[in-house]
Amino acid sequence: MQGKIALEEHVAIEPTLSDSKVFGAHVWGDLGPRLIDVQDMRLREMDSHGIEMMILSLNAPAVQSIHDVKTAIAVARQANDVLAEHVAKRPARFAAFAALPMQDPDAAITELNRCVKELGFVGALVNGFSNIGTPDNVTYYDLPQYRPFWRAIEGLDVPFYLHPRNPQPGNPQFQGHNWLLGPNWAFSAETAVHALRLIGSGLFDEHPNLKLVLGHLGEGIPVQLWRIDGRNGWMKEPHRYPAKHGVGHYFRKHFHLTTSGNFHTPSLVNAMTEMGADRVMFSVDWPFEDVGQGCDWFDKAAISEAERAKVGRDNAVKLFKLKI
């Protein structure tokens, strides 16, 4: 399929580059240059495999792991300026998501407004929880101090991409089992819980126009929706949380999913069945996944051509208001 749009595609700047080495130390000679490059190798890969546009975002965990608040604010601004420069060189081929210093909600609002209103960014991508003040402080965005931030992003009418990071070091579930970290399991487990916390907090009742994006075909949530809301239904013991409705209600109404790093047709079909084909979008997860592999899979996946057009391009154009 020609004209695809990919939207979980990462770039590193010098202060954040080393954050990604853990995800491919043995191939760092290839991975590092892929992260820094935008206008050369990346563009050739796009041209070779029918990708018209990539929406660029900072690598992970990057800003979210910088516990010194002033430094986090400075690095977010630096990263966004670099992304804006790349977009300005080829606005028909690249757009960008804002990196945000969520350690300080007010600063995150300020940077979000700058990126959307001045730099023309199409949303924000945040790498999970933030460390604030110390490396051990773990803060999630369902907490009350983030309500003004959610009000701001709703007011700007741009999507918020909740991207994975590994759980806090020392988590006993993963100690001694490093093979479970990263995309094997921990990324999805950590991000799914964060998304469910946002849902259960009542956030979407307070802000009914919020739009969130999850990668990797929903971090495992779609296949679990019935069980999450069913929970031993004969016992007639409903969820006790601030939200007014079941998880499935909010997930299908407020979330959009991408295929990033999950090139599996049964999982794609499940996501489209649960969410509707209008809420699933193509992505690769470059440079951690291969553009050729992702595109070859998607172009041949056993879905209808109408669905392929929606997932591969049309849904992203509509959600992010792309002028292409």
Which CA distances in Å does 128 have to 64, 206, 293? 7, 21, 26
Half-sphere exposure (CA, 13 Å, Cβ side) for 63?
Answer: 31
Burial classification of residue 71, based on how many CB atoms lie within 10 Å of its CB (0-12 exposed, 13-18 middle, 19 or more buried): middle
pLDDT at 8: 97
pLDDT at 172 over 90: no
When comparing pLDDT for 170 and 111, which is higher?
111
pTM for the model: 0.97
DSSP codes joined into one string, 262-304: ---HHHHHHHHHHH-GGGEE----TTTS-HHHHHHHHHHSSS-
Instruction: Quickly list H helices, 183-246.
Output: 186-200, 203-206, 225-230
Question: What does the pLDDT average to over 53-72?
Answer: 98
Q: Categorize the per-residue pLDDT at 173 as very low, low, confident or very high, splitting at 50, 70 and 90.
A: confident
What's the CA gap between 178 and 157, in Å, rounded? 39
Q: Give the start-to-end residue ranges of the domains of the chain.
A: 4-319
What's the CA gap between 268 and 4, in Å, rounded? 16
Question: What does the pLDDT average to over 267-291?
Answer: 98
pLDDT at 238 over 90: no
Q: Is 296 a catalytic residue?
A: no
Q: Categorize the per-residue pLDDT at 144 as very low, low, confident or very high, splitting at 50, 70 and 90.
A: very high
pLDDT at 175 over 90: no
Give the tens place of pLDDT for each residue, 107-130: 999 999 999 999 999 999 999 999
Omega of the bond leading into 287 within 30 degrees of 0 (cis): yes
What's the CA gap between 296 and 292, in Å, rounded? 6
| Residue 58 contacts residue 16 (beta carbons within 8 Å) | yes
- Active-site residue identified among 19, 285, 290, 314: 285
Give the tens place of pLDDT for each residue, 81-106: 999 999 999 999 999 999 999 999 99
Q: Is 4-319 in CATH node 3.90.850.10?
A: no
pLDDT at 235: 87
pLDDT at 33: 95
pLDDT at 9 over 90: yes
* DSSP-derived 3-state class of residue 139: strand
